[in-house]
Amino acid sequence: MSDARMPTPRITVGLDLGDRHSQFCLVDENSGVVEEGRLRTTSVALHREFAERPPMRIVIEVGTHSPWVSRLLEHCGHEVLVANARKIRLIFVNDNKNDRIDAESLARVGRLDPQLLCPIRHRGAQAQVDLATLRSRDSLVRARTQLINHVRGAVKAVGGRLPRSSAPAFPRKVAEHIPAELRTTLNPVLEMIGRLSCEIRAADRRVERLAAERYPETERLKQVAGVGPITSLCFVLTLEDPTRFPNSRAVGAYLGMRPKRRDSGARSPQLRISKRGDTMLRRLLVGSAQYILGPFGPDCDLQRWGLRLAQRGGKNAKKRAVVAVARKLSCMLHSLWINGTEYEPFRSEKAKTAAA
């Protein structure tokens, strides 16, 4: 995104990205439509259309193509705003909706006030490629879990029951417990689960190598119990630039772990968390929080704080404590990263002792 102190371009462009074709609309400073058109959603077509034009403000919606398109248009010298699609009700609730109208709406909102777009910031090209390594591993794990659940469900349906087992050891431990009438059907599934486990182990090694070679800051984050190479690397790649947050507390809200607000007059209802932001990182942080609060989590300030929340009682107290610990963990990881400090498990206790 260009420097905010630069003068506003005379022309604002709304570019509605489609999978094959995209619609664009140029609006001048007097809100008049200067030009409309349609082009293929390829780097060649976009470069040919916008490379030779004077600097403009181009507004696009976040989506599958928005990362590479925004980088290409910025390289052509334009100011690019990537609009948060959830915030533009003018477009997604319009009862007269098509690509041409969407492009014009983007251009007019971008000309009027860019802040109405709630513009987001895409990560860099290298970070996007590295994050794909984590997302591929996550897809493998989900596929393995789905197959394991299928096998257990199929056996239960005929009156059988399989022993408990970890996911990697599942094919070996349950093979002899498969009912005879289901072996022909389920043995290929067990073989696939075994192959997926091999691929997941290989992916784990790639993640560890990637973190060690390209992102040494992950070592500092792994000081916290429950945070391994996958969680630490996902945290670094998702945030990418820790200095873009005004403070560490803002990270929890960015990852969707703050309660929604719907205050009106004297009413202030208690709502669920917003669940905005990166789903995979939020899930990993919640998993780390469950480990910290579980029987194998080492004693530390964070564990004691979370257990006190869980002991308050009430409906879903344990679940709320897990989310609260995950939110506080995200703030702690950001602080360790940006300040370069060493992790102290009992920092709060030491501060209380020193004050006393």
Query: Contact, 79 vs 70, CB < 8 A?
Result: no
Q: How far apart are CA 89 and CA 91, in angstroms?
A: 5
Q: Is there a single domain that holds both residue 242 and residue 202?
A: no
CA proximity to 121, closest of 71, 55, 58, 47: 71
Same domain, 201 and 109: no
pLDDT of amino acid 118: 83
pLDDT band at 332 (very low <50, low <70, confident <90, very high): very high
264, pLDDT greater than 70:
no
Q: What percent of the chain has pLDDT over 70?
A: 92
Question: For the chain, what is the domain count?
Answer: 3
Query: Does 356 fall in a domain?
Result: no
Residue that finishes a domain, picked among 214, 235, 254: 214
d(CA 184, CA 189): 10
Measured CA to CA, the distance from residue 28 to residue 74 in angstroms comes to 20
- Of the chain, the percentage scoring pLDDT greater than 90 comes to 68
Bridge partners for 23 per DSSP: 16, 38
Q: Distance between CA atoms of 104 and 16, rounded to whole angstroms?
A: 9
Note the pTM of the prediction, 2 decimals.
0.83
Mean pLDDT in the chain?
A: 89
312 occurs within a structural domain: yes
**Across-strand partners of 14?**
25, 59
Q: Are 173 and 76 contained in the same domain?
A: no
- Determine, yes or no, domain membership for 178: yes
Residue 355 maps to a domain: no
Structural domain boundaries enclosing 61: 12-117
Which pLDDT band, with edges at 50, 70 and 90, does 4 fall under? very low
25 has a pLDDT exceeding 60: yes
CA distance 344 to 336: 10
Considering 89, 117, 145, which residue would you say is the last residue of a domain? 117
Encode pLDDT of 46-75 as tens digits: 999 999 999 999 999 999 999 999 999 999
- Smallest CA-to-CA distance from 293 within 318, 330, 266, 270 is with 318
State residue 91's pLDDT score: 64
Is residue 2 domain-resident?
no
Same domain, 112 and 229: no
Residue with tokens 């009027």: 112
Strand arrangement, sheet containing 79-83: 33-40, 21-27, 12-16, 57-61, 79-83
Q: Find where tokens 């506003």 sit.
A: 8
- Across the range 262-267, mean pLDDT stands at 70
Q: Give the residue among 316, 328, 330 at the shortest CA–CA distance from 277.
A: 330
Are the beta carbons of 323 and 286 closer than 8 angstroms? yes
Question: Do 99 and 206 lie in a common domain?
Answer: no
Q: How far lies 189's CA from each of 146, 165, 181, 196, 278, in Å?
A: 11, 16, 15, 10, 31
Flag whether 5 is in a domain: no
Q: What is the pLDDT of residues 228-244, one digit of tens each?
A: 999 999 999 999 999 99
- In sign, the C-alpha dihedral spanning 165, 171, 173, 177 is positive
- The three-point CA angle 327-130-138 to 5° equals 60
User: Same domain for 224 and 316?
Assistant: yes
Burial of 165 (0-12, 13-18, 19+ CB in 10 A): middle
Same domain membership, residue 92 and residue 30:
yes
Same-domain status, 232 and 324? yes
In a domain, 225, yes or no: yes
Write b or e for each residue in 119-156: b if 16 or more Cβ atoms lie within 10 A of its Cβ, otherwise e: beebbeeebeebbeebeebbebbeebeebbeebbebbe
Q: Are residues 224 and 210 in the same domain?
A: no
Residue 4 forms part of a structural domain = no
Please tell me the distance from the alpha carbon of residue 42 to that of residue 22, in angstroms, as a whole number. Answer: 9
Residues 309 and 226 in one domain: yes
Residue 186 and residue 229 share a domain: no
Indicate if 59 and 92 belong to the same structural domain. Answer: yes
d(CA 352, CA 34): 66
Count Cα atoms within 13 angstroms, Cβ side, for 89.
0
211: pLDDT strictly greater than 80? yes
117, 139, 165 - which closes a domain: 117
| Helix (H), strand (E), coil (C) string for 251-293 | HHHHCCCCECCCCECCECCCCCECCCCCHHHHHHHHHHHHHHH
- At residue 1, the pLDDT reads 45
What is the arithmetic mean of pLDDT over 243-247? 91
Q: Output the domain CATH number for residue 55.
A: 3.30.420.40
- What distances in angstroms separate CA 37 from CA 14, 20, 69, 295, one per listed residue? 11, 14, 17, 62
